[in-house]
Amino acid sequence: MSHTILIADDEQEIVELLKLYVDKEGFSVVEAYDGQDAYEKLQQNQIDLAVIDVMMPRMDGFQLLKTLRRDYNIPVIILSARGQDNDKILGLGLGADDYISKPFNPLEVVARIQAQLRRFYQLNATQQPDVPPDTISVGELTLDKSSCVLYRQGEEVPLTSIEYKIIALLMNQPGRVFTKKQIFENVWEDLFVGDDNTIMVHMSKIRDKIEPDPKKPVYLKTVRGLGYKFEKQVLSDET
């Protein structure tokens, strides 16, 4: 099976060098030269693994990793000239699967890419053969995180980017109660200053799109005094 690898680094020579070696192994390569470009390529392509540099313009590697981990569950290898232990700990703590310091041997990078792909896709497929990757289902709803699409009874539900981010955040941890502050800061990536109305408006619009009866929600529940949660499961007689 051919995999697609995202290589993101602001140094063109490094991207071209790694692409040369990765191509030889039969993988497809998507190139990016800054963090924002890398995230857009993630949204536009079916990426199976990402190799990202830390020191990039527009969005550094750590911020890219943090943003990526909200919506995607793919192996990520950090590639950085910053080899200090605290940087490695930060990268791994944000969700990186491996960390390689510059200067590097491109053969080692390819070997680590192969190891991560084998661990993530082949071993997981053996353990969970009937579970599609990056898919969450609750009742009639199915969220495909790889394509950023929500389906209801097999039909695509049109969502704005903000609505999708809210759904992805809540469905990724069904049953967990998220405060309005947590939702706002995760979705809008800004400090929450008590703007309850913004969140309420978006929740109302989401319910209009996903609930059988928006006035009696069975999926997106309000937890009074705390926030919102997405139900772990919905009984058939409720829907």
The model's pLDDT over 80-90, given as tens digits with 9 standing for 90+, comes to 876 566 777 88
Greater model confidence, 164 or 125: 164
| 10 and 104 share one domain | yes
Q: Average pLDDT over the chain, rounded to whole?
A: 85
* Alpha helices (H) along the chain: 12-24, 35-44, 61-71, 85-93, 106-117, 124-127, 161-172, 180-187, 196-210
Inter-CA distances, 174 with 8, 95, 143, 211, 219, Å: 32, 20, 12, 16, 10
What predicted TM-score, i.e. pTM, was given to this entire model? 0.53
Sheet with 149-152: strands ordered across: 135-138, 141-144, 149-152, 155-157
14 and 108 housed in the same domain: yes
Beta bridge partners of residue 7, listed in sequence order:
31, 51
The pLDDT tens digits for 178-213 are: 998 889 888 887 777 776 688 889 999 999 999 999
Q: Cα dist. 183→93, 125, 142, 166 in Å?
A: 21, 32, 21, 7
Q: Are residues 14 and 123 in the same domain?
A: yes
- Looking at the structure, tell me whether residues 120 and 140 fall in a common domain: no
User: Would you state the pLDDT for residue 156?
Assistant: 92
Looking at 72, 96, 127, which one is the last position of a domain?
127
Q: What is the domain count for the chain? A: 2
Tokens found for residue 30 = 């998507």
Residue 129: band (very low, low, confident or very high) from pLDDT cuts 50, 70, 90:
very low
- Among 74, 107, 127, the domain-final residue is 127
Tokens linked to 14:
């490094």
Which of 82, 110, 127 is a domain's end point? 127
Q: Do 76 and 116 share a domain, yes or no? A: yes
145 & 199 share domain? yes
- Nearest Cα to 132, choosing from 117, 142, 118? 142
Same domain (yes/no): 33, 116: yes
CATH number, position 221: 1.10.10.10
CA distance 184 to 202: 11
CA distance 67 to 106: 27
pLDDT at residue 239 is higher than 70: no
pLDDT at res. 89:
81
Query: Would you say 91 and 100 are in contact if contact means Cβ atoms under 8 Å apart?
Result: no
173 versus 7: the higher-pLDDT residue is 7
For the cut 50, the answer to whether the pLDDT of residue 104 exceeds it is yes
Residue span of the structural domain in which 65 resides: 4-127
pLDDT at 29 (0 to 100): 94
